[in-house]
Structure 1
Amino acid sequence: MSSPVRMPKPTCLIQNHRGRLSACPEALEVLKRIRQPVVVVSIVGLYQTGKSYLMNRLAGKRTGFPLGSTVQATTKGIWMWCVPYPERKDQTLVLLDTEGLGDAEKGDTQNDTWIFALSVLLSSTLVYNSLGTIDQNAMDQLHYVTELTEHIKAKATPGGGAGGGLEDSSEYLRFFPSFAWALRDFTLQLELDGKPITEDEYLENSLKLKKGDTPDIQRFNLPRECIRFFFPTRKCFIFDRPTSRKNLHRLEQMEESELVPDFVEQADQFCNYIYGTSKEKTLPGGHVVTGHLLAKLVETYVETISSGEVPCMESTVLALAEMENAAAVEDALACYGKLMGQRLRLPTESIPELLEIHVKCKKEALQVFMARAFKDDEQRFQIKFTETLDNRKEEYCRRNEQESIKRCQALLATLCAELEEKVRSGLYSRPNGHRQFVEDLKDIERRYHREPKKGVMAEETLKQFLEGKEAVGRAILQSDTALSEKEKQVEEARAREEAARREQEVLRQRDAEREQKMQDLQRSYEENVQQLKVKMEKDREQLLEEQKKMMDSRLAEQQALLNEGFQKEARQMREEIQLLKEENAKVQESPSLENVVDGICKIIGAIFSGIMKCAEFSQNLSGNSGQSLSRPQQAPALTYWPCPSPAVANNR
């Protein structure tokens, strides 16, 4: 993981200029540099209610987000501050301070609704900040929550309209954050029926529904239903006034010792709760959001809103998956290239040496891909990664052969310099010259074999070199007057046998290379299958955990409705719970076995498609085995691919 980005002060993330929202490129660049998981805490509420002060406390600073000290709203749009997460070194805390809602000067309630909707979409913890008590006026001011289904779609419906309302609320739970209500300047005693209650009990009591169907009761119940249905995880905090009214304008300059002690304690409790309970921002299925991915979410949602469309969470996630999976392939390939560059020294002494390094690097690269990729349900990107990596492995094999040929040819050029001079000077054109020529060639061959680090083309290059000397040898043999015709025939036969032996040695080496590459394919297949199964099982566990949380929240809400006497609503909730149970049963059926098998077959198909292409290539090369290797850049790549073994074919 990279280090968290340290921002000295907040910056604007989403501008709000004359009612038009736009993402700020500078802030997006900051997010894109954050490769750590992010915990996103946003705060919303009416203007001039002290939101920015709480966010500065969460940042561990006294100043940062501007505190408004006049009747005019200060924050415009959504401002961002990325800070190291307290006691979580592998995460970054992203604080979002939003433009105050209900600003009379703005006069655009639609704009306020989009600010609220974006806060919900982007955060993992949403803080609603208000003054005083939770009464009907406070609920009326929170009307934005009742409009969420009109401004956010959970699923891409065929008609393209907004979501279906509260009956579809379970789908929203996959995306929505936890909820905390911060009550500022709270002056009441926390008592109910003469008994003390906690802040959370006060909130839950305030969210109780009234019976009846009159318009007034429906207006009373609607915001409460939305909070209960959309935010099953909720918390309440109360705060005294931090200081006297006359000192509020200089709150940023005041030391903690100057503040009301109860307020300081309450603020600390609030911060500790947020630090301790806030989760990483995740997408449905449990995929963790990094700063880079959060930037993509911001861009996508703001562009959708600016175009006049309603953001669809499901469509956004699928679009992001496409981008992230493509980036995962590039990351994994870059990792592979870096590791191979660090560990591989060409030429290698053998094919197994290269393949062993390749297998280890590929395993680590595949882990990089798996860690970033998500919703690659058809394994399209994993197959692309596998195919590309196999091509790059072949390129390394070709380079390995070329480097070996260069080194061997340079060595042979040095070793045979004296022999070449003797040929030019006619030293062998005398009686018994052929015997001397053969001895000198054997001496070159012995010295050649003693030299280390010649690489995988050592035998092939030597064979080509000796074949190149055959014509010279025959000419010397025929001109050697010390040999009889019969002796010359014996020498020619010996030379042919020696050439055949060398040819057989090269063919044996080629067969060994084919077998090694087949073993590499087998290992590649097994590694892909293993990591795919691990990832699918992990995804399944995350989905089950997500389903369990949804089920638990709906069961709790159903029980609450029964306790309050809302039988009809409880029955409706039971239907929703039944659908969740059916979904859960499908997920629990053998760990995605069909998907695993289907994915494995696709990967095997991609691997064996490469095998057949390379097999055709090797067949084309077989007719060129006698080509001269005097120029390394023209040397054919001796890469051969066997047909899949019966065991692998049966696995498929």
Structure 2
Amino acid sequence: MSCSKSKIDMPHPVCLITNTEDGGLLICQEGIDILDQIIQPVVVVAVVGPYRTGKSYLMNRLAGKRKGFALGSTIESKTKGIWMWCVPHPHIEDHTLVLLDTEGLGDVDKGDEKHDVWIFCLAVLLSTTLVYNSLGTIDNTALEKLQYVTKLTEHIEVKSRTEDGESMELMRVFPSFVWTVRDFTLDLELDGKEITADEYLENALMLKKGDTVTPNVVNYNKTRRSLLDLFAVRKCFVFDRPGNAKTMKQIEKLADDDLDESFVEQSMAFCTYIYTNSKSKTMRGGRSVTGRMLATLAQTYVKAISSGQVPSLDNAVESLAQIHNSRAVQEAVEFYRCEMTKRVHFPTETQQELSDIHAGVEKEAISIFIKGSFNDQNQEYQKDLVKCLSKEYEELVKQNMEESRKVCRSIITRVFGSLEEEVKKGIYMRSGGYIEYCSALERAVQQYRSEKGHGLMVEQVLTNYLAENNNVGENILAADRSLSEAEREIEEERREKEALEQKNRQLEEQKAIQEKLFLDEKNSLRENIRQLTVKKEEEERRSREEIMRLQQAIHQGRRSPWNSFTSFLVNDVIHPATSWISKIF
């Protein structure tokens, strides 16, 4: 298997969720490790259905392979638990197609309906497209075998955000539904007119009137109503038999030319639809789910089931947000730290130089966080990021100053060294020596300032040095007998004036640094808000697209709750009453 941040290509499927000896479910670490490496958005297609109906073959075709998911040629069910195959998406760049093959429902050897319900629920929770595969026709018997759908509201918890209740909320987050009917031998006709496979499905799902009165009608409508209530997007494909019994036993070894032509065409149409219409998995607000996030969701759901709880969409989102927002902060800070280490060469000549590097790297770090985070309530994690990056930058500023001080001290030692030696020898302790000393000192100061590479603490270090050696000039001035008392007073006043001017240079130097740092802080907050605004606008755009998708999927006037549902999305998602920007920082 080859994995990278940009691409993952598994040579074969691996188990994602396995069965325990006592009939429970257990996460397989190998599958989680693979998902954890995928930072691309994922399109998740899961197949469910009765055992021995050819589910695995369909998934192999979606993977573009003849072999992969185990096919069985006997009455024994081959797939146990949920198996996963991650391949580059053939149509969408920088996306990974995650195929989930589930164990057959209704396996007589297993005989555990509750286990089947959980497998069905997990397939629904993890996928963006749910493929239900069955044999023969879509009749009442086939729909009775799909009774698991009626238990979804009992086995999946979601806090309703609409007046229309849980079903409408589930419809918003549930995958699209594709029913594949294998070995279909009927003519697609209704009342003597040719119909499409989609019309065939919708006709089979039509409700009988009187379901609130007659028990038989209630039972008849139960599965149908659940499918209509929970899956906004529905699609149907019918398949001819691929060949005779001999062909069926070795189908994974045969090329398309060896299979029934109609079956091959139908299979290609199915794959094309999945590639083209299956959306990337998203959370509320349109946040794309990566493989890494999908791994967390799978772990969260299985943990809830194993502990006897009902998987909660809200708890899963909260858990996912905590884990991935914390990770997003860590990754952003680590990126900032590493990039600043590579790009900054201490000491910088000016604070502006360090500020410019900081601004560029911080912008990238914020982008990493924005892309990796979601559902950041009140921007708590982004606030943490701001604090962390501010602390990192503060340390770099301190380091830059200290490195500059070291370089400046080294330059002072070199430049003022000869003057200090002359002072030690007493060369200037004579008549006329003070003027000569002042001239030599001024030359050294000018040479010091003209040096390159000493950084931004030039005047501070010079001020400290001159202050420490102030008594040298005083002693030389006192020893110079060539100066009159008036001249001596003038020189003392000049020395005080020069010391004050030097102090002012230091203060101006410090003021310029402080002003730049304050501007850096303002620019940092501005960049955080800018990127957050862009992200929010993108989420709003995705929400609008989701509304349009559901509007197109639900026939005009077929569902009375639609108006209030649309109102919820528009008022609570797209145009929140309180600006989220005002809450940050």
TM-score (norm 2): 0.94
Stretch deviating more after TM superposition (8-17 or 207-216): 207-216
Q: Distance in 1 between matches of 2:238 and 2:581?
A: 54
Aligned position for 1:285: 285
Q: Distance in 1 between matches of 2:550 and 2:257?
A: 44
Indicate the SS of the match to 1:179: strand
Aligned position for 1:193: 191
Stretch deviating more after TM superposition (328-337 or 477-486): 477-486
Distance of aligned partners of 1:377 and 1:588 in 2 relative to their CA distance in 1, 3 Å threshold:
closer
Q: 1:49 aligned to 2:53?
A: yes
Give RMSD over aligned pairs. 2.2
Aligned position for 2:115: 111
Aligned position for 2:253: 253
5+ long unaligned stretches in structure 1: 158-162, 560-572, 604-652
Stretch deviating more after TM superposition (132-141 or 473-482): 473-482
Aligned position for 1:38: 42
Q: Distance in 2 between matches of 1:515 and 1:64?
A: 63
Q: Map residues 40-439 of structure 1 onto 2, 5 A cutoff.
A: 40-155=44-159, 167-212=165-210, 213-439=213-439
What letter matches 2:208 in structure 1?
K
**TM superposition shift of 1:597:** 4.9
Aligned position for 1:583: 568
**TM superposition shift of 1:462:** 1.0
What letter matches 2:171 in structure 1?
L
Identity across aligned pairs (percent)?
Answer: 44
Indicate the SS of the match to 2:16: strand
Deviations 1:341-378 (A, max 9, x none): 34332222222222222223222222222222222231
Aligned position for 2:495: 495
Q: Distance in 2 between matches of 1:598 and 1:89?
A: 36
Indicate the SS of the match to 1:183: strand
Q: Distance in 2 between matches of 1:346 and 1:114?
A: 59
Deviations 1:236-293 (A, max 9, x none): 1111111211332222222222111111111111111111111101112111000000
Aligned position for 2:9: 6
Deviations 1:154-183 (A, max 9, x none): 2289xxxxx99x952110022210111111
Q: Distance in 1 between matches of 2:452 and 2:171?
A: 65
Indicate the SS of the match to 2:66: coil
Q: 1:22 aligned to 2:26?
A: yes
Q: Distance in 2 between matches of 1:189 and 1:131?
A: 15
Q: Distance in 1 between matches of 2:569 and 2:278?
A: 26
**TM superposition shift of 1:406:** 0.9
Indicate the SS of the match to 1:34: coil
Q: Distance in 2 between matches of 1:540 and 1:384?
A: 24
Stretch deviating more after TM superposition (43-52 or 251-260): 251-260
What letter matches 1:114 in structure 2?
W
Q: Distance in 2 between matches of 1:238 and 1:226?
A: 22
Q: Map residues 461-540 of structure 1 onto 2, 5 A cutoff.
A: 461-540=461-540
Distance of aligned partners of 1:141 and 1:52 in 2 relative to their CA distance in 1, 3 Å threshold:
same
Distance of aligned partners of 1:56 and 1:113 in 2 relative to their CA distance in 1, 3 Å threshold:
same
Distance of aligned partners of 1:584 and 1:81 in 2 relative to their CA distance in 1, 3 Å threshold:
closer
TM-score (norm 1): 0.85
How many positions carry a matched residue from both structures? 579
What letter matches 2:403 in structure 1?
E
Aligned position for 2:579: 595
Q: Distance in 2 between matches of 1:267 and 1:554?
A: 26
**TM superposition shift of 1:43:** 0.4
Q: Where does structure 1 differ by over 6 angstroms across 4 or more consecutive aligned residues? A: none
**TM superposition shift of 1:207:** 0.7
What letter matches 1:347 in structure 2?
P
Q: Is the 8 A contact 1:408 1:461 kept in 2?
A: yes
**TM superposition shift of 1:578:** 4.2
Indicate the SS of the match to 2:578: helix
Q: Distance in 2 between matches of 1:597 and 1:31?
A: 33
Deviations 1:98-117 (A, max 9, x none): 01111111111100110000
Q: Distance in 1 between matches of 2:532 and 2:577?
A: 11
Indicate the SS of the match to 1:83: strand
Indicate the SS of the match to 2:43: strand
Q: Is the 8 A contact 1:180 1:234 kept in 2?
A: yes
Indicate the SS of the match to 2:206: coil
What letter matches 1:25 in structure 2?
Q
